[in-house]
Amino acid sequence: MNILNQKRPEKNLSRILSKNSGRNSTGKITIRHQGGRQKRYYRQIDFRRDKTGVAGRVVAFEYDPNRNVHLALVHYSDGEKRYILSPIGLELGKIVVAGLEVESNIGNALPMSKIPIGMPIHNVELHPGRGGQIVRGAGTMATILAREGGFVHLKLPSGEIRKVRENGMATVGQLGNQAWKDTPIGKAGRARLLGRRPSVRGTAMHPGSHPHGGGEGRSGEGLKSSKTPWGKIARGLITRKRGKYSDRYIISRRKKKGRIK
């Protein structure tokens, strides 16, 4: 694990992140349990890795309050500075580069057609030129299993195997901070600073606020199926649209988590 530098984010690569507090453009709350977080700065991260052929040196590792993975600050030889996601094994002073004919070293970005089969990658482009869209969370990685007809077969962190165009860019290595899931939040005050407001049980409300509300004493949800505050079925109702256009690229779907017996 790399030691994080205690420094303010680069001024030219950060801006104040506006607060929405779960409200839409009209001011109505559309997402509950949000609000009250600390002031944050959004870091502009180089997901495209389109600075090809220019070597950059890693000068710092920084915390990002907007994501669970740490960032690496890279100073390029032409004077430009950029943030990239920090993979395991990247160290201070290491040289990273992006391009079509670069080596498959940790932190380098190159087309998936040039990356050896079985090597861990992250920040994968689904559409060439659009920038990395998947495999960007802490501790995650994808693996190239095969190549066929202009596509690579990728095994994703969820266990899903899908086709992705081989001329899309990806960065070599597994992302760091993999212990993020095991870190306890510590206290309720930290949740409030992160913008998470308390979640109240529906059975604790009055019947005007929730279908589960009302009754004498601890009444529970009742005999009917569980409902949302707006009366929709809360468990088992399928809301995902079927037949998404990109489903044809899925070779093997992710494994469903079974109930522990």
pLDDT digits (tens, 9 = 90+) for 6-47: 889 999 999 999 999 999 999 999 999 999 999 999 999 999
For residues 152 and 165, what is the distance between their CA atoms, to the nearest angstrom?
Answer: 6
CATH code, domain carrying 109? 2.40.50.140
Tens of pLDDT along the chain (261 residues)?
688 988 899 999 999 999 999 999 999 999 999 999 999 999 999 999 999 999 999 999 999 999 999 999 999 999 999 999 999 999 999 999 999 999 999 999 999 999 999 999 999 999 999 999 999 999 999 999 999 999 999 999 999 999 999 999 999 999 999 999 999 999 999 999 999 999 999 999 999 999 999 999 888 888 888 999 999 888 888 877 787 888 899 999 987 765 454
- Name the residue range of residue 133's domain: 11-179
Give me the number of domains the chain comprises.
1
For residues 6 and 65, what is the distance between their CA atoms, to the nearest angstrom?
Answer: 13
For residues 206 and 26, what is the distance between their CA atoms, to the nearest angstrom?
Answer: 27
- The pLDDT score that the predictor gives to residue 261 is 45
Three-class SS string for 231-255?
A: CCECCCCCCCCCCCHHHHHEEECCC
> Residue 96 contacts by C-beta under 8 Å, 6 or more apart in sequence?
55, 56, 57, 58, 74, 84, 90, 105, 107, 108, 109
- Could you tell me if residue 214 is inside a domain? no
Residue 101 near residue 115 (C-beta atoms within 8 A): no
- Could you tell me if residue 59 is inside a domain? yes
Three-class SS string for 18-64?
A: CCCCCECCCCCECCCCECCCCCCEEECECCCCCCECCCEEEEEEECC
- Could you tell me if residue 239 is inside a domain? no
H or E, element range at 72: strand 71-76
Residue 162 near residue 251 (C-beta atoms within 8 A): yes
- Could you tell me if residue 141 is inside a domain? yes
- Could you tell me if residue 21 is inside a domain? yes
For residues 73 and 81, what is the distance between their CA atoms, to the nearest angstrom?
Answer: 7
- Could you tell me if residue 87 is inside a domain? yes
- Could you tell me if residue 249 is inside a domain? no
- Could you tell me if residue 212 is inside a domain? no
What's the longest Cα–Cα distance across the chain? 72
